[in-house]
Structure 1
Amino acid sequence: MNLQLEPDVAFGVDPDLGVTAAVADDRPFLDEVLRKHHFRYSSTLDLYLLPGDTPHNTAVRTVARASRDFQNVGLSVAADPCIMLPPPIPTPDRVPVRQALPGQSLTALTGELHELRRSADVADVLEQILDEHHGVVGDLEEFVDTAAVWCERLGTPNGRELGVHLRTIAHHVAFLGDQLVTAQLDLAVMPDLTPDNAPPLAEVPLPARHEIPSVTHTARSRAALASSPNRPAPAGGPEPPDATVRAQAPPPSTRRSR
């Protein structure tokens, strides 16, 4: 097997230049693809550059799409992982800069659910979107709050009205986070295990929104009474019939969304 030590195209990121691309030679196809994705060639630097005002998420998607175009025709691509790191979130003067971290992909977490069998494992995945520092629920709440401030900064009646509306939405997001924490704690103590003969998750149709059932009192009671590391079964008490397949649940998390 022949290993190609130098890629046909390499993507990187520079603190002053932003996202850049370098090519191995002057093949027209390389130039054509990069220009299609809004890179512009700098003869002074011998590099392709994205416009300086390109938002971070747009730049990441652009590199991914250009890379896919190159790979589809058999070309090799290298990319600096730092391209994925978002810039710091602006803060007021004399307030420490908050360094942003790459967030969890909600799509990837949804994909993880298809491989899980234990309720406790689903709870672990759900906890990732509730993480206080870089969970998507808290990030969404902060995003909506920031959008509200942006609208209020317009100083117009419409801006103030929309700002109030967005702040209400942010409260709903916070409430959603609280409800998800409750669901995550319930999942963490449930002993349930998906049967081996259950159909693949991808083949089970999602319920219509208006048909999603609420959690019943019976289900909550069963979860509350299930044994866990923090609440072992009573000594000498009857063992439930599914004890042989019971998954050991981790201790419930005390972290909450922002």
Structure 2
Amino acid sequence: MSLPHPDFELYDNIGRTTEQIAAHRENRPTADDLCRWAAYDAREFSASLPAEDAGQSISDWTRHLYRVRTAAELNTVAQAVLGDGHSGLAELHLFLETAAEWCERNQEPGIAARYRQHAEELSALGDQLAYLSEDHLASIYRHPNRSAPAHPAPAPAAAPAAPAARTRRTR
């Protein structure tokens, strides 16, 4: 099967990438060709999608990091992006699982398995990031002299008053 290469004229290697030259020799499309063709074929569907980039909300959360002053504030932002529930990471995991289901319904089990594998890897990464967050908080709150606000101490029990400290005599 011969696939057209609309951006590649025969014997014109000037300004071409190694991938483009190899693809032309092997009579196969480049990754850019495939993406461009898919975008063209999906242009009607694409018009119904939100105008903003999917990663824009993560970019917004990243900008919040510049305002963070304490470990508690960092944890709040990190949990919004990396935590359980409706975090960015959890939604990306759901996206990968849904893509795998679509591939299975459309008789592409090999691609579905790869989506699932990446969803599992993402889940494992999420676990590691949760441990990192816990370690960070534990480190901060175990050392109250740091810049993070000290963990509220329990009210002291009624104890006898300590003897007054001796005053130092000057000569």
Normalising by structure 2, we get a TM-score of: 0.53
Pairwise mapping of residues 86-125 of structure 1 onto structure 2 (< 5 A)?
A: 105-125=57-77
The percent of aligned pairs where both chains have the same amino acid is 26
CA distance 1:53–1:248, shift in 2 (3 Å): same
Query: Is residue 55 from structure 1 mapped to residue 4 from structure 2 by the alignment?
Result: no
CA separation of 1:249 and 1:182: change in aligned 2, threshold 3 A:
farther
Q: Which has the higher strand share?
A: 1
CA RMSD of aligned residues (A): 3.0
Q: Give the match's secondary structure for 2:150.
A: coil
**CA distance change for structure 1 residues 160 and 246 in 2, over 3 Å: closer, same or farther?**
closer
Match for residue 133 of structure 2 among 173, 184, 187: 184
Please give the per-residue CA displacement for 1:37-84, whole angstroms capped at 9, x wherever unaligned.
xxxxxxxxxxxxxx89843423xx39xxxxxxxxxxxxxxxxxxxxxx
Structure scoring higher RCO (CA < 8 A, sep ≥ 6) equals 1
> Aligned equivalents of 1:179 and 1:164: distance in 2?
23
Equivalence for 1:144:
96
Contact 1:123–1:184 (Cα < 8 Å) also in 2? yes
| Partner residue in 2 for 1:161 | 110
TM-superposed CA distance for 1:117, in Å, is 2.7
Q: Name the SS for the 2:84 alignment partner.
A: coil
Partner residue, 1:248:
150
Q: Flag the structure with higher helix content.
A: 2
For residues 92 and 146 of structure 2, the distance between their equivalents in structure 1, rounded to whole angstroms, comes to 41
Give, in angstroms, the shift of residue 189 of structure 1: 2.6
Q: What residue in structure 2 maps to residue 83 of structure 1?
A: none
Separation (CA, whole Å) in 1 of partners of 2:150 and 2:79? 17
Find the aligned partners of 2:105 and 2:58 in 1 and give their Cα distance. Answer: 31
Alpha-carbon distance between aligned partners in 2 of 1:126 and 1:115, rounded to the nearest angstrom: 13
Q: Distance in 2 between matches of 1:176 and 1:53?
A: 31
Q: Which amino acid aligns with 1:247?
A: P
Within 5 Å, give how 1:183-202 maps onto structure 2: 183-191=132-140
Query: Which position in structure 1 is the counterpart of 2:119?
Result: 170
Deviates more, 1:126-135 or 1:160-169: 126-135
1:176-198 CA-partner distances (Å, limit 9, x unpaired): 1111111121222332xxxxxxx
Aligned residues: 108
Change (3 A) 1:151 1:120: same
For normalisation by structure 1, the TM-score amounts to 0.36
User: Secondary structure of the residue that 1:105 maps to in structure 2?
Assistant: helix
Change (3 A) 1:120 1:189: farther
Cα gap change, 1:245 to 1:161, in 2 (>3 Å): closer
Q: Which one-letter code corresponds to 2:76 in the other structure? A: D
